Amino acid sequence: MASGTDMVIARLSADGGSLLAATYLGGSGNDGIAAYNPISTVRQLPQNYGDALRGDILTDAQGNVYVASVSSSVNFPTSAGSFGRTYQGGSCDAVVCKLSPNLNTLLWSGFLGGTAADAAYSVQLDANGNVYVGGGTLSASLPGTATGWQPHNAGSVDGFVARIAADGSAVQRATFLGTSSYDQVFFVQLGSDGGVYLLGQTLGSWPVSPGVYSNAGSRQFIQKLSPDLDKSLLSTVFGSGRATIDISPTAFLVDQCDRVYACGWGGMVNQQAYSYYGNGSPNASNGFTDGLPTTPNAVRTVPDTPGNGSDFYLAQFAPGLAQLSYATYYGDPTPFSEGDHVDGGSSRFDPRGVVYAAACSCSNLNGFPVPPGAYSYSPTNGRADFNFCNNAAFKLNFEPTVAMVGPGQTVCDTSPPIRLSGTPTGGTWTGPGVSGSVATGFIFTPSLALAGNQQLTYSVPGVTSACSASATLTIVVGTRVPASAAALPTLCANASPLPLTTGSPGGGTWAGPGVSSPSPGTYVFTPSTALVGTQTLTYSLAASSSCGSQASQATATVQVLPIANVVVPPDTILCPGSTQAFRLRATPAGGTWSGPGLSANGAVFTPPGIGTFALTYTVNASSACPVALTRRITLLPEPVLAPVLVPAACVPSNVAPLVVHFSQPAAGLPADAVLSWNFGDDSTTVTTGPDVTHTYLRAGTFQPRVKVAFNQNRCGRTLSLPPIKVQDMFIPNIFTPNGDNRNDLFVTRLGGCPPRLQVFSRWGQQVYENAAYQNTWDGTGLAPGLYYYLFTPPDGGTPIKGWVELIR
């Protein structure tokens, strides 16, 4: 930490007596504190007293640490492959990080923000490890909001929530939450269906869903979004209904029954907070805690000073936000006290709905409530100065019907039945050895069959039929019977894991080569080629103090057989029409073949028809496990070789150059077919497609042939096609249109479609034209003499020109 402020993350031992790990986290600017200006007249993110110090920390099942906070450092550490590698601008950006359990590795880290101020206040994980963060922003755009419920910022300060991929590689989804006035999200929670619950503040007109509990016009909101953050599923507001904000949120929970809990504080300190952040800041919209709804069973139903309420406020809502189940004030009831508050930071609910809250109690007053019998380091404030505060803490249980049981017990298998009890009464016990009913009570009866650890469950009906509170009691049943282990079966080296269940009495542990424990109390032996031979496994029972027995062990052996080394030839494909029988071979000799087409002795195979035939070779050896391998032999069908001569667009005159086109039906050819064409004029070509085109350049009679090769060129068939006769081109150099019906027309022999004919006199004057000439020019109207012709093919071929003499 060269300058500014840094975050500090520390891991303590469970008893708080040891510092296990600690690290700084930050860059060269301020980290962990949202940017604000005490004399600023522009809007900024801090709205409540202490908002600049908000942030959140969370651990997963593996002990990895997740942090949601804020940074003004352009060089805040980020990681390769993570989202948001660069600072986006503005006075601060939100930052989200994942660290290893021992805090020595930054697994991933990134900036989350736009071009203005952004901060993250809350972090949660879903069942897939994806990370949800919520906070506030002044930015016009954020990554991932394009498909969000609100893709655009609706006002100068909006809340936001984002979902980050479990590996930190991308912001998958995000959305703004806000109105045209001030709005922020302070807490994120996930419901049993994966829905995203949000707690925040608003000075705008917040939407309220049909059928939910609400206090019209209030400034605290609870919203539920879909997991993809693209739909609003529930929404409400709660509070006094005044135009000012009532409380600054400090804790939020959605429990396993989808009940919603909220905690916060408000009053004089927050109402005057704008003096810390500048007269132009939105903090001037904060008010007192008067008029907040409470329930008849509240700890306190009125604030400390009517009209000047400065207290904590706690509320519980039914699933679906259908009703206010419980709400209370809490704090120093002394009139006109400065008020209980929090200097930034978050408190926690545990999964049962118990809140653990930290507070500042001020003004040299000693009225902060300490329940009778509760531990108290000091029953008084301890400060003689009116303007100073001491720390206070309280724990409040919202849900008194949390199931609880006594400590675990260790008994002998011959002990008398044990009566089971739990609180609150009226619950049900289940588990091995349990009997009884709610009316008569429940007992656990130990026995030799129950030796070991037995998990018993006590369940108490909850607020809904689908949600019950439960607790677990562990009873260890010991025994005086020494350990024994029954024989284990012989296994092949490639066999599935063998559950080890032959130890008696139950509750012991297995050890030895190949032994593992996939789950607590269960053991398996996994054979392998490395364990071929006899393996000795040990079953152990620990000493049971309840029965006065000593620890004992027993052994069992398991024989692991090798796998015979069997080799069969590779799969074979036979050409069409093959009926030749052939001998089957494999190693080692002495095995047996089975399958279709085999001879009586099973050693010779004759194809029984077209298709694929599976032949299995099985080897049974006395010193090894049986092995069966399969060889597949396929007899291919005859290919359908039937190319068709496709006619030209015009009636062919079989005049060179003659273009011919052959089309072979693709459906009749194997997938790997290769066609070799010989057109009979010393020209050949090879294709893999069904069609081919060839041009005969000279006159003659030609015999085309085609050969198809397939099965990797191992099989082939040849077909001869009908001969093709090709004539030379002919254009006369004289014709005599004298009416004797002999040589009266200019008759030519040209290939292809009729060409365009143009005839010119010797002075270059065109005297005749036909766009598609078909031997019809008789020289009408022309004097005898030499004329010059030009034939132009319609397909863009080479023009033909020359002269012809007209004689009458």
Q: Judge whether 288 lies within some domain.
A: no
Q: Judge whether 196 lies within some domain.
A: yes
| Same domain (yes/no): 430, 449 | yes
Using pLDDT thresholds of 50, 70 and 90, give the confidence band for residue 697: confident
Taking 50 as the threshold, does the pLDDT of residue 278 lie above it? no
Number of domains in the chain: 6
Q: Judge whether 142 lies within some domain.
A: yes
Round to whole Å and give the CA distance between 95 and 70.
5
Taking 60 as the threshold, does the pLDDT of residue 388 lie above it? no
Q: Is the Cβ–Cβ distance between 220 and 85 less than 8 Å? A: no
Using pLDDT thresholds of 50, 70 and 90, give the confidence band for residue 555: very high
The domain in which residue 802 lies consists of 734-806
In eight-state DSSP terms, residue 421 is: -
Q: Is the Cβ–Cβ distance between 323 and 317 less than 8 Å? A: yes
Round to whole Å and give the CA distance between 199 and 161.
11
Q: Is the Cβ–Cβ distance between 716 and 709 less than 8 Å? A: yes
Residues with Cβ within 8 Å of 289's Cβ and at least 6 positions away in sequence, in order, are: 240, 246, 247, 265, 266, 267, 303, 309, 310, 311, 313, 329
Q: Among residues 541, 561, 581, which one ends one of the domains?
A: 561
Q: Judge whether 121 lies within some domain.
A: yes
Round to whole Å and give the CA distance between 158 and 92.
15
Residues with Cβ within 8 Å of 73's Cβ and at least 6 positions away in sequence, in order, are: 4, 26, 27, 28, 29, 30, 31, 87
Q: Judge whether 101 lies within some domain.
A: yes
Q: Is the Cβ–Cβ distance between 473 and 408 less than 8 Å? A: yes
Taking 50 as the threshold, does the pLDDT of residue 784 lie above it? yes
| Same domain (yes/no): 597, 660 | no
Tokens (6 digits) for 543: 């000493």
Residues with Cβ within 8 Å of 589's Cβ and at least 6 positions away in sequence, in order, are: none
**pLDDT at res. 465:** 47
Average pLDDT over residues 163-190: 96
Q: Is the Cβ–Cβ distance between 631 and 598 less than 8 Å? A: no
**pLDDT at res. 373:** 64
| Same domain (yes/no): 35, 150 | yes
Round to whole Å and give the CA distance between 430 and 436.
10
Q: Give the lowest-confidence range in 39-43, 116-120, 157-161, 556-560.
A: 39-43
Taking 50 as the threshold, does the pLDDT of residue 279 lie above it? no
| Same domain (yes/no): 219, 201 | yes
Say if residue 100 is exposed, middle or buried (CB neighbours under 10 Å; 0-12, 13-18, 19+): middle
**pLDDT at res. 646:** 79
Which segments of 205-348 does DSSP mark as H helices, in order? 268-271, 274-277
Greatest alpha-carbon span in the chain:
145
**pLDDT at res. 380:** 54
Tokens (6 digits) for 193: 């269906």
Strands 658-663 and 700-702: unpaired
Q: Is the Cβ–Cβ distance between 526 and 516 less than 8 Å? A: yes
Say if residue 204 is exposed, middle or buried (CB neighbours under 10 Å; 0-12, 13-18, 19+): middle
| Same domain (yes/no): 628, 684 | no
Using pLDDT thresholds of 50, 70 and 90, give the confidence band for residue 222: very high
| Same domain (yes/no): 544, 583 | no
Mean pLDDT of the chain: 87
**pLDDT at res. 135:** 98
Round to whole Å and give the CA distance between 232 and 215.
19
| Same domain (yes/no): 695, 741 | no
Say if residue 384 is exposed, middle or buried (CB neighbours under 10 Å; 0-12, 13-18, 19+): exposed
Tokens (6 digits) for 606: 């004759």
| Same domain (yes/no): 627, 769 | no
Residue 275, φ and ψ in degrees, nearest 5: -70, -25
In eight-state DSSP terms, residue 746 is: -
Tokens (6 digits) for 495: 């066999």
Q: pLDDT higher for 696 or 393? A: 696
| Same domain (yes/no): 25, 164 | yes
CATH of the domain at 685: 2.60.40.10
Average pLDDT over residues 640-664: 79
Using pLDDT thresholds of 50, 70 and 90, give the confidence band for residue 237: very high
| Same domain (yes/no): 584, 531 | no
Average pLDDT over residues 424-442: 92
- Say how far residue 263 (Cα) sits from the centre of its chain: 33
Round to whole Å and give the CA distance between 114 and 153.
11
Average pLDDT over residues 561-587: 89
Q: Among residues 506, 538, 561, which one ends one of the domains?
A: 561
Taking 80 as the threshold, does the pLDDT of residue 396 lie above it? no
| Same domain (yes/no): 371, 411 | no
* pLDDT tens profile 55-86: 999 999 889 999 999 999 999 999 999 999 99
Average pLDDT over residues 400-406: 70
Percentage of the chain lying above the pLDDT 90 cut: 57
**pLDDT at res. 1:** 47
* pLDDT tens profile 135-144: 999 999 999 9
Using pLDDT thresholds of 50, 70 and 90, give the confidence band for residue 652: low
Round to whole Å and give the CA distance between 317 and 315.
7
Q: pLDDT higher for 97 or 339? A: 97
Percentage of the chain lying above the pLDDT 70 cut: 89
Round to whole Å and give the CA distance between 208 and 51.
26
Q: Judge whether 254 lies within some domain.
A: no
| Same domain (yes/no): 28, 124 | yes
Taking 90 as the threshold, does the pLDDT of residue 191 lie above it? yes
Q: Among residues 585, 605, 635, which one ends one of the domains?
A: 635
Q: Judge whether 649 lies within some domain.
A: yes
Using pLDDT thresholds of 50, 70 and 90, give the confidence band for residue 281: very low
Round to whole Å and give the CA distance between 36 and 44.
7
Q: Judge whether 700 lies within some domain.
A: yes
